[in-house]
Protein backbone atom coordinates (compact mmCIF):
# COMPACT_ATOMS: atom_id res chain seq x y z
CA UNK A 1 0.00 0.00 0.00
CA UNK A 2 1.29 3.43 -0.84
CA UNK A 3 1.04 6.21 1.73
CA UNK A 4 1.16 9.92 1.12
CA UNK A 5 4.86 9.75 1.93
CA UNK A 6 5.40 7.57 -1.15
CA UNK A 7 3.87 9.95 -3.70
CA UNK A 8 4.24 13.53 -4.90
CA UNK A 9 2.08 15.31 -2.34
CA UNK A 10 2.06 18.56 -4.35
CA UNK A 11 0.07 16.93 -7.16
CA UNK A 12 -2.52 15.72 -4.64
CA UNK A 13 -3.04 19.17 -3.14
CA UNK A 14 -3.83 21.24 -6.23
CA UNK A 15 -6.80 21.62 -8.53
CA UNK A 16 -6.96 23.25 -11.95
CA UNK A 17 -9.34 26.20 -12.11
CA UNK A 18 -10.25 28.86 -14.70
CA UNK A 19 -7.43 31.34 -15.19
CA UNK A 20 -7.51 34.15 -12.65
CA UNK A 21 -5.61 37.41 -13.09
CA UNK A 22 -3.45 38.36 -10.13
CA UNK A 23 -3.55 41.75 -8.49
CA UNK A 24 -1.02 43.12 -6.03
CA UNK A 25 2.38 44.79 -5.81
CA UNK A 26 5.97 43.62 -6.08
CA UNK A 27 8.70 44.50 -3.60
CA UNK A 28 9.55 47.62 -5.58
CA UNK A 29 5.95 48.83 -5.37
CA UNK A 30 5.03 48.00 -8.97
CA UNK A 31 1.38 47.17 -9.54
CA UNK A 32 1.10 43.50 -10.50
CA UNK A 33 -1.83 44.35 -12.76
CA UNK A 34 0.67 45.46 -15.39
CA UNK A 35 2.48 42.11 -15.19
CA UNK A 36 -0.57 40.32 -16.57
CA UNK A 37 -0.04 37.10 -14.59
CA UNK A 38 -2.74 34.48 -14.31
CA UNK A 39 -2.94 31.41 -12.06
CA UNK A 40 -4.61 28.18 -13.14
CA UNK A 41 -4.13 26.17 -9.94
CA UNK A 42 -5.45 26.55 -6.40
CA UNK A 43 -4.66 24.49 -3.30
CA UNK A 44 -7.22 21.85 -2.37
CA UNK A 45 -5.85 20.87 1.05
CA UNK A 46 -5.98 23.32 3.96
CA UNK A 47 -2.85 23.35 6.18
CA UNK A 48 -4.89 24.92 8.98
CA UNK A 49 -7.75 22.45 9.46
CA UNK A 50 -6.20 19.65 7.34
CA UNK A 51 -9.35 19.10 5.33
CA UNK A 52 -9.66 18.69 1.58
CA UNK A 53 -11.11 22.03 0.52
CA UNK A 54 -10.63 24.22 -2.53
CA UNK A 55 -9.10 27.56 -1.56
CA UNK A 56 -10.23 30.94 -2.86
CA UNK A 57 -8.02 33.96 -3.48
CA UNK A 58 -8.87 36.58 -0.86
CA UNK A 59 -6.36 39.37 -1.28
CA UNK A 60 -3.60 40.95 -3.31
CA UNK A 61 -0.53 38.96 -4.24
CA UNK A 62 3.06 39.89 -3.44
CA UNK A 63 5.96 39.32 -5.77
CA UNK A 64 9.46 38.21 -4.79
CA UNK A 65 11.56 38.70 -7.92
CA UNK A 66 14.99 37.14 -8.31
CA UNK A 67 15.53 38.03 -11.97
CA UNK A 68 18.47 40.41 -12.42
CA UNK A 69 19.08 40.09 -16.15
CA UNK A 70 22.10 37.81 -15.75
CA UNK A 71 20.61 35.02 -13.66
CA UNK A 72 20.95 31.54 -15.21
CA UNK A 73 17.54 30.75 -13.69
CA UNK A 74 15.39 33.86 -14.12
CA UNK A 75 12.54 33.07 -11.79
CA UNK A 76 10.31 34.65 -9.20
CA UNK A 77 7.97 33.56 -6.42
CA UNK A 78 4.45 34.93 -6.14
CA UNK A 79 2.76 34.79 -2.73
CA UNK A 80 -1.04 34.68 -2.91
CA UNK A 81 -3.29 34.93 0.20
CA UNK A 82 -6.07 32.34 0.09
CA UNK A 83 -8.92 31.27 2.34
CA UNK A 84 -10.18 27.77 3.21
CA UNK A 85 -13.86 27.30 2.40
CA UNK A 86 -14.32 24.98 5.42
CA UNK A 87 -12.52 26.58 8.38
CA UNK A 88 -12.45 30.09 6.87
CA UNK A 89 -8.81 30.56 7.92
CA UNK A 90 -6.18 32.28 5.80
CA UNK A 91 -2.91 30.89 4.53
CA UNK A 92 -0.47 31.65 1.71
CA UNK A 93 -0.17 29.77 -1.58
CA UNK A 94 3.26 29.97 -3.23
CA UNK A 95 3.68 30.03 -7.00
CA UNK A 96 6.79 29.98 -9.18
CA UNK A 97 7.10 31.83 -12.48
CA UNK A 98 9.90 31.89 -15.04
CA UNK A 99 11.00 34.79 -17.21
CA UNK A 100 11.01 33.46 -20.76
CA UNK A 101 11.95 36.61 -22.67
CA UNK A 102 13.28 40.15 -22.51
CA UNK A 103 11.38 42.94 -20.82
CA UNK A 104 11.46 44.90 -24.10
CA UNK A 105 9.65 48.20 -23.61
CA UNK A 106 9.80 48.03 -19.83
CA UNK A 107 6.50 46.25 -19.36
CA UNK A 108 6.51 42.86 -17.65
CA UNK A 109 5.84 40.67 -20.65
CA UNK A 110 7.77 37.44 -20.80
CA UNK A 111 6.81 35.91 -17.46
CA UNK A 112 5.11 32.51 -17.56
CA UNK A 113 1.86 31.78 -15.75
CA UNK A 114 2.83 30.86 -12.16
CA UNK A 115 2.62 27.23 -11.02
CA UNK A 116 1.61 26.29 -7.49
CA UNK A 117 4.33 24.51 -5.49
CA UNK A 118 3.70 24.93 -1.74
CA UNK A 119 1.76 26.60 1.04
CA UNK A 120 2.69 28.53 4.18
CA UNK A 121 2.28 26.91 6.64
CA UNK A 122 3.19 23.65 4.87
CA UNK A 123 0.28 21.50 3.72
CA UNK A 124 0.88 18.15 5.36
CA UNK A 125 -1.55 15.62 3.96
CA UNK A 126 -2.37 12.88 6.44
CA UNK A 127 -0.97 9.46 5.79
CA UNK A 128 -3.31 6.95 4.21
CA UNK A 129 -3.13 4.07 6.68
CA UNK A 130 -4.89 0.85 5.91
CA UNK A 131 -8.07 -0.07 7.72
CA UNK A 132 -5.98 -2.66 9.52
CA UNK A 133 -3.63 -0.09 11.07
CA UNK A 134 -6.51 2.23 11.97
CA UNK A 135 -8.21 -0.67 13.73
CA UNK A 136 -5.08 -1.64 15.66
CA UNK A 137 -3.36 1.68 16.41
CA UNK A 138 -4.95 4.97 15.35
CA UNK A 139 -2.55 6.70 17.76
CA UNK A 140 0.39 5.52 15.67
CA UNK A 141 -1.00 7.24 12.58
CA UNK A 142 -1.65 10.47 14.50
CA UNK A 143 1.83 10.61 16.05
CA UNK A 144 3.52 9.66 12.77
CA UNK A 145 1.58 12.39 10.91
CA UNK A 146 2.48 15.05 13.46
CA UNK A 147 6.15 14.10 13.28
CA UNK A 148 6.09 14.30 9.48
CA UNK A 149 4.58 17.78 9.86
CA UNK A 150 7.42 18.77 12.19
CA UNK A 151 9.95 17.39 9.71
CA UNK A 152 8.56 19.39 6.80
CA UNK A 153 8.46 22.49 8.99
CA UNK A 154 12.18 22.10 9.68
CA UNK A 155 11.83 21.18 13.36
CA UNK A 156 14.64 18.67 13.13
CA UNK A 157 15.41 18.34 16.84
CA UNK A 158 11.98 16.79 17.52
CA UNK A 159 11.97 14.10 14.87
CA UNK A 160 13.83 11.22 16.49
CA UNK A 161 11.71 11.34 19.63
CA UNK A 162 8.50 11.66 17.62
CA UNK A 163 9.15 8.70 15.34
CA UNK A 164 10.40 6.66 18.31
CA UNK A 165 7.11 7.33 20.13
CA UNK A 166 5.12 6.35 17.04
CA UNK A 167 6.98 3.03 16.95
CA UNK A 168 6.18 2.33 20.59
CA UNK A 169 2.47 2.88 20.03
CA UNK A 170 2.49 0.71 16.91
CA UNK A 171 4.22 -2.24 18.58
CA UNK A 172 2.43 -2.10 21.94
CA UNK A 173 -1.00 -1.48 20.43
CA UNK A 174 -0.47 -4.48 18.15
CA UNK A 175 0.63 -6.73 21.03
CA UNK A 176 -2.35 -5.59 23.15
CA UNK A 177 -4.66 -6.16 20.18
CA UNK A 178 -3.41 -9.75 19.96
CA UNK A 179 -3.21 -10.32 23.73
CA UNK A 180 -5.77 -8.06 25.45
CA UNK A 181 -5.52 -10.03 28.69
CA UNK A 182 -1.86 -8.91 28.99
CA UNK A 183 -2.52 -5.22 28.32
CA UNK A 184 -1.32 -3.98 31.72
CA UNK A 185 1.92 -5.95 31.53
CA UNK A 186 2.65 -4.82 27.98
CA UNK A 187 2.06 -1.15 28.87
CA UNK A 188 4.56 -1.33 31.76
CA UNK A 189 7.26 -3.25 29.87
CA UNK A 190 10.14 -1.51 28.10
CA UNK A 191 9.63 -1.51 24.35
CA UNK A 192 12.81 -3.47 23.62
CA UNK A 193 11.66 -6.23 25.99
CA UNK A 194 8.18 -6.23 24.47
CA UNK A 195 9.72 -6.89 21.08
CA UNK A 196 12.12 -9.57 22.29
CA UNK A 197 9.54 -11.44 24.36
CA UNK A 198 6.49 -11.24 22.10
CA UNK A 199 7.54 -11.16 18.43
CA UNK A 200 8.59 -14.52 17.02
CA UNK A 201 9.79 -13.28 13.63
CA UNK A 202 13.59 -13.03 13.89
CA UNK A 203 13.92 -10.52 11.05
CA UNK A 204 11.27 -8.14 12.40
CA UNK A 205 12.63 -8.56 15.93
CA UNK A 206 16.05 -7.49 14.72
CA UNK A 207 14.75 -4.53 12.68
CA UNK A 208 12.33 -3.31 15.35
CA UNK A 209 15.02 -3.55 18.02
CA UNK A 210 17.36 -1.53 15.81
CA UNK A 211 14.65 1.10 15.35
CA UNK A 212 14.27 1.35 19.13
CA UNK A 213 18.02 1.81 19.52
CA UNK A 214 18.19 4.53 16.87
CA UNK A 215 15.15 6.30 18.29
CA UNK A 216 16.56 6.22 21.82
CA UNK A 217 19.83 7.67 20.56
CA UNK A 218 18.01 10.78 19.32
CA UNK A 219 16.72 11.45 22.87
CA UNK A 220 20.15 11.42 24.56
CA UNK A 221 22.17 14.50 25.47
CA UNK A 222 25.05 13.19 23.38
CA UNK A 223 24.30 11.08 20.34
CA UNK A 224 26.59 8.11 19.77
CA UNK A 225 25.03 6.48 16.73
CA UNK A 226 25.63 7.25 13.08
CA UNK A 227 22.14 6.60 11.75
CA UNK A 228 19.81 9.35 10.59
CA UNK A 229 16.09 10.06 10.90
CA UNK A 230 15.50 8.57 7.45
CA UNK A 231 16.90 5.24 8.69
CA UNK A 232 14.50 5.27 11.65
CA UNK A 233 11.52 6.08 9.41
CA UNK A 234 12.45 3.28 7.01
CA UNK A 235 12.56 0.73 9.81
CA UNK A 236 9.22 1.89 11.19
CA UNK A 237 7.63 1.50 7.75
CA UNK A 238 8.90 -2.09 7.60
CA UNK A 239 7.43 -2.86 11.04
CA UNK A 240 4.13 -1.27 10.00
CA UNK A 241 4.00 -3.39 6.86
CA UNK A 242 4.73 -6.51 8.91
CA UNK A 243 1.85 -5.71 11.29
CA UNK A 244 -0.46 -5.18 8.31
CA UNK A 245 0.64 -8.42 6.69
CA UNK A 246 0.26 -10.50 9.86
CA UNK A 247 -3.23 -9.25 10.59
CA UNK A 248 -4.46 -9.27 6.99
CA UNK A 249 -3.11 -12.80 6.53
CA UNK A 250 -4.90 -13.94 9.69
CA UNK A 251 -8.13 -12.38 8.46
CA UNK A 252 -7.74 -14.05 5.08
CA UNK A 253 -7.19 -17.48 6.64
CA UNK A 254 -10.24 -17.04 8.86
CA UNK A 255 -12.36 -15.82 5.98
CA UNK A 256 -11.48 -18.45 3.42
CA UNK A 257 -11.38 -21.39 5.81
CA UNK A 258 -15.10 -20.96 6.51
CA UNK A 259 -18.24 -20.76 4.42
CA UNK A 260 -19.48 -18.01 6.74
CA UNK A 261 -18.09 -14.53 6.15
CA UNK A 262 -19.06 -12.31 9.07
CA UNK A 263 -18.54 -8.58 8.70
CA UNK A 264 -15.65 -8.49 11.17
CA UNK A 265 -13.59 -10.62 8.82
CA UNK A 266 -13.85 -8.04 6.05
CA UNK A 267 -12.09 -5.10 7.68
CA UNK A 268 -8.62 -5.73 6.25
CA UNK A 269 -7.96 -3.66 3.14
CA UNK A 270 -5.73 -6.28 1.57
CA UNK A 271 -8.42 -8.92 2.07
CA UNK A 272 -11.07 -6.69 0.52
CA UNK A 273 -8.81 -6.13 -2.48
CA UNK A 274 -8.69 -9.89 -3.09
CA UNK A 275 -12.43 -10.06 -3.64
CA UNK A 276 -13.27 -6.64 -5.05
CA UNK A 277 -13.12 -7.62 -8.71
CA UNK A 278 -16.01 -7.14 -11.12
CA UNK A 279 -17.26 -10.72 -10.66
CA UNK A 280 -17.37 -10.58 -6.85
CA UNK A 281 -20.87 -11.18 -5.45
CA UNK A 282 -20.00 -10.63 -1.79
CA UNK A 283 -21.86 -12.32 1.07
Domain that includes residue 239, residue range: 131-274
Within-domain flag for 281: no
Q: What pLDDT, on the 0 to 100 scale, is given for residue 281? A: 40
User: Is residue 149 situated within a structural domain?
Assistant: yes
92 and 141: one domain?
Answer: no
Q: Is residue 279 part of a domain?
A: no
Q: Which of 95-99, 170-174, 204-208 has the lowest mean pLDDT?
A: 95-99
Total structural domains within the chain = 2
256 Cβ contact list (under 8 Å, min separation 6): none
Looking at per-residue confidence, does 60 or 191 come out higher? 191
159 and 55 both lie in a single domain:
no
- pLDDT score recorded for residue 125: 64
Look at 64-68, 159-163, 266-270 and tell me which has the smallest mean pLDDT. Answer: 266-270
Give the tens place of pLDDT for each residue, 119-143: 888 877 666 678 899 999 999 998 9
Mean pLDDT is lowest, of 4-8, 19-23, 31-35, 253-257, for 4-8
- What pLDDT digit, counting tens, does each position of 228-241 carry? 999 999 999 999 99
pLDDT at 272: 42
Query: Residue 13: what pLDDT?
Result: 57
Amino acid sequence: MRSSQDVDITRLLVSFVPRQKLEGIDLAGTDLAVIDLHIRELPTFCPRCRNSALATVCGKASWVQSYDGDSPEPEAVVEVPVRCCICDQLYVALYATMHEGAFGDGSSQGWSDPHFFATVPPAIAPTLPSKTIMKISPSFSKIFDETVAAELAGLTELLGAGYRRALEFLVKDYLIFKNPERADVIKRTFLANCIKDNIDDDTITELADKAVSIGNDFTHFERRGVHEVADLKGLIVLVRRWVEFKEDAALARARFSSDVRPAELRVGLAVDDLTSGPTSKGG
